[in-house]
Amino acid sequence: MMEAVESERIHILICSPEYTIAEYLTATLPGSQFRVIGALPGQTFVNAARRTRPEIAILDRVDDRFMIAQMEVALLKEIVPDVRIIAVSAQSSPSDGTVLESGIYYYLANDWEPVMLDIVNAAVNAIVAQG
């Protein structure tokens, strides 16, 4: 696993109607390097985004709520312009394209578990390379 930038923990904010991804990353990533925050869509997410200013954000089920996901992307980019956003879709659909066009770092359709750690690692590497 990548060393966190300047020995500070990297904040990962997960916006999802359930806590499956947050629980998975909390159990898998070293707590000394990462702080994983799960938030329900809506005001809970807005408050968490403003409070934590995450380096990485994961938006779950964008296929079910693509218009809301677009607003979440805009809010994240306003708060942290260089945030790495990972969009997760349970089933790829044409409506996902509008979310992708709004500046997503990575789009993941279907089963996220086998590749999520690799994607998070790639985002961390991009953050470190950016300096």
C-alpha 12/C-alpha 17 separation (Å) is: 16
Superfamily (CATH H level) for 7-130: Response regulator (3.40.50.2300)
Contacts of 75 (CB under 8 A, 6+ apart): 46, 49
The whole-number pLDDT of residue 1 equals 44
| Residue 122 pLDDT level (bands cut at 50, 70, 90) | very high
C-alpha 20/C-alpha 25 separation (Å) is: 9
Q: Say if CB 14 and CB 29 are below 8 A apart.
A: no
Q: Say if CB 122 and CB 84 are below 8 A apart.
A: no
C-alpha 68/C-alpha 128 separation (Å) is: 30
pLDDT digits (tens, 9 = 90+) for 23-38: 999 999 999 999 999 9
Sign for the pseudo-dihedral over CA of 26, 66, 40, 55? positive
Domain-wise residue ranges, the chain: 7-130
pLDDT digits (tens, 9 = 90+) for 40-80: 999 999 999 999 999 999 999 887 877 888 899 999 999 99
**pTM score of the predicted model:** 0.89
